[in-house]
């Protein structure tokens, strides 16, 4: 499956951790990772979650899966995690993991019904009997893409100290699919670099249905990283599911 330029282009992949600095979700995910003996991070990107867990003393099995070699090049700074290039279509884990996570809204890259079905089946197969699958997806009811249009420009400091400017344009909203283009400008580049992505915004009922079809039961759903209950206009749908 081809990945967006944002993840495939080494110059853009190198910006990813700086772009995500101060993210609120790791305070939610890190304790879950710390208390699980074997963890699979699907769409791990630069692997920051597992790198932090290992640095904090996690001594069990940590495995990161991502189809973008340019992102995994950064993950590989940590040598005692298994970094695997690929996606769930090629996965053949056999109930190896007590925790599977998909963070950074990676679940939303699964844009077709078949992508979602295949991914959830593979996750069910990777999970131990009492294992948990924890992931989040932006709540479509909060219509976050409208705030991207209202506030299209931002800037952040890259790892080398240069200031990178980012501009977002929403190209199309069709049903639950949002296509948008991000354009990055750095003083180190002769020309801006642009990446077009499509994300799927599944609602909570639809997620529950798809999880159930894959034999996965929802244990809890939250609407934000402080574990507030999910309601109609929550920004996130954060789901903890298991095989039983």
Ligand X SMILES: C[S@@+](CC[C@H](N)C(=O)[O-])C[C@H]1O[C@@H](n2cnc3c(N)ncnc32)[C@H](O)[C@@H]1O
Binding-site ranges for ligand X (CB under 6 A): 1, 3, 7, 20, 42-45, 66-68, 71, 87-88, 103-106, 109
- 77 or 231, CB closer to ligand X? 77
- The CB-of-190 to ligand X minimum distance in angstroms stands at 25
- 98 or 137, CB closer to ligand X? 137
3-state secondary structure of 150: helix
- 18 or 38, CB closer to ligand X? 18
Tell me phi and psi for residue 215, to 5 degrees: 80, 20
Residue nearest to ligand X (CB): 104
Tell me phi and psi for residue 133, to 5 degrees: -110, 120
- The CB-of-88 to ligand X minimum distance in angstroms stands at 6
- The CB-of-206 to ligand X minimum distance in angstroms stands at 19
- The CB-of-13 to ligand X minimum distance in angstroms stands at 8
Query: How far apart, in Å, do the first and last CA atoms of the chain sit?
Result: 31
- The CB-of-94 to ligand X minimum distance in angstroms stands at 19
- 20 or 121, CB closer to ligand X? 20
- 74 or 208, CB closer to ligand X? 74
CA distances from 225 to 81, 95, 142 (A): 26, 28, 15
């Amino acid at each position: 499956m081809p990945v967006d330029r944002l993840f495939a282009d080494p110059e853009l992949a190198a910006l990813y951790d700086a772009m995500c600095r101060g993210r609120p979700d790791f305070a939610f995910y890190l304790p879950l990772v710390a208390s699980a003996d074997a963890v699979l991070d699907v769409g791990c990107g630069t692997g920051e979650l597992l790198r932090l867990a290992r640095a904090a003393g996690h001594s069990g099995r940590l495995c990161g899966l991502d189809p973008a070699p340019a992102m995994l090049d950064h993950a590989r700074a940590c040598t005692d995690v298994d970094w695997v290039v690929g996606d769930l279509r090629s996965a053949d884990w056999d109930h190896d993991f007590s925790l599977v996570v998909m963070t950074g809204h990676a679940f939303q890259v699964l844009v077709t019904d078949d992508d979602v079905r295949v991914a959830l089946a593979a996750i069910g197969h990777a999970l131990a009997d009492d294992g948990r699958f924890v992931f989040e997806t932006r709540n479509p009811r909060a219509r976050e893409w409208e705030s991207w249009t209202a506030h299209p420009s931002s800037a952040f400091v890259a790892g080398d100290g240069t200031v990178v400017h980012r501009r977002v344009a929403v190209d199309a909203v069709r049903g639950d699919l949002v296509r948008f283009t991000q354009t990055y400008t750095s003083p180190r580049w002769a020309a801006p670099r642009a990446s077009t992505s499509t994300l799927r915004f599944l609602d909570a009922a639809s997620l529950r249905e798809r999880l159930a079809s894959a034999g996965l039961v929802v244990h809890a759903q939250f609407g934000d990283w402080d574990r507030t209950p999910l309601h109609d206009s929550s920004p996130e749908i954060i789901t903890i599911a298991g095989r039983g």
